[in-house]
Amino acid sequence: MSATKTNIFITGATGYIGGSVFQRLVQHPNAANFNITALIRSPEKAKFVKEKFGVNVVEGSNADLDKLTQLAEQADIVLNVADSDDLAAAIALIQGLKNRHDKTSVKPTLIHTSGTGFLVDDARGMFATDKIYHDSKPEEIENGVPDSALHRNVDLAVIDADRKGWVRGLIISPPTIFGMGSGPLFDSGLVNKHSLQIPLLIKISLARGKGAGVVGEGKSIWNHVHIDDVADSYIVLLDAVLKNADAVPHGREGIYLLEAGEHTWYDVSKAVGKAFVELGLAKSDEPN
């Protein structure tokens, strides 16, 4: 490990988001100055990533908390992309970064993956709320989002560690991500190339056997963003930290809500219904 290189530790490198981010890391113009370490739980995937990309690979899972702490302690920047909701893993990473800070007095960076699920209300598809949150106004999130909201417990742990000065905490919050993961990692067939929400809607609709499903009347409005834009966002933040870390909003001001447009869930279900009709899987495209 060279002292002049930036040590980057990534979790979730074999996932939909993490794989897309990982590939950008190894293809980064400054990749020669990065010392990249990935924690991968599957021996088969670990072998592939090590051989294909020549990075440091440690076999292990989020349950190996000591390993997470040790690996974070060696990192200047941690990208936590495995699981937005694994509080124990996030605390283990924060502990490692705190240890590093205690030893070096240099503040390391944690780029944590959350999700705009913390903004979900109780509309159940029956109405579209007028409340719009802005990541430039952290007080809106602090005052409007309960601590019990989805993902929020982990986000609060990151914000708390940032407030205590142990880490520079950046929280990337994607909404519905669309598009397929692409590149050699995904071409291997070993790595998940699908997103969560719309594929889940399709699977549930098929299992139900009544055409495209919809929650309530589908009036809820949600944001979306392409997987490539999500992955680019991590690199934009990484580059900003490497250029001038002190200038990058962090902690309570470091929640980055990604979005490139919005949809109603009715429109998504209608599109799924149309595809079902075209494929002979349903007689009507009307969501129900």
Q: Which of residues 7-46 bind ligand NAP (CB under 6 A)?
A: 12, 14-18, 41-42, 45
CA distance 160 to 197: 29
Give least dist CB 182 to ligand NAP, A.
Answer: 14
CA distance 194 to 173: 18
Residue range at the interface with ligand NAP (CB under 6 A); choices 2-10, 66-74, 83-91, 161-169: 83-91
Give least dist CB 227 to ligand NAP, A.
Answer: 8
Give least dist CB 86 to ligand NAP, A.
Answer: 6
Q: Which of 5, 28, 58, 83 binds ligand NAP (CB under 6 A)?
A: 83
215: its two tokens: 């929650």
Q: Which of 8, 72, 82, 154 binds ligand NAP (CB under 6 A)?
A: 82
Give least dist CB 82 to ligand NAP, A.
Answer: 3
CA distance 218 to 179: 22
The yes or no reply on residue 233 touching ligand NAP (CB under 6 A) is no
Largest CA distance in the chain: 65
Cβ atoms of 56 and 28 within 8 Å: the answer is no
The yes or no reply on residue 69 touching ligand NAP (CB under 6 A) is no
The yes or no reply on residue 174 touching ligand NAP (CB under 6 A) is yes
CA distance 259 to 33: 30
The yes or no reply on residue 177 touching ligand NAP (CB under 6 A) is yes
CA distances to 38, 111, 172, 248, 262 from 236, rounded to whole Å, are 20, 11, 11, 11, 22
Positions in the binding site for ligand NAP (CB under 6 A): 12, 14-18, 41-42, 45, 61-62, 81-85, 113, 115, 174, 176-177, 192, 195-197
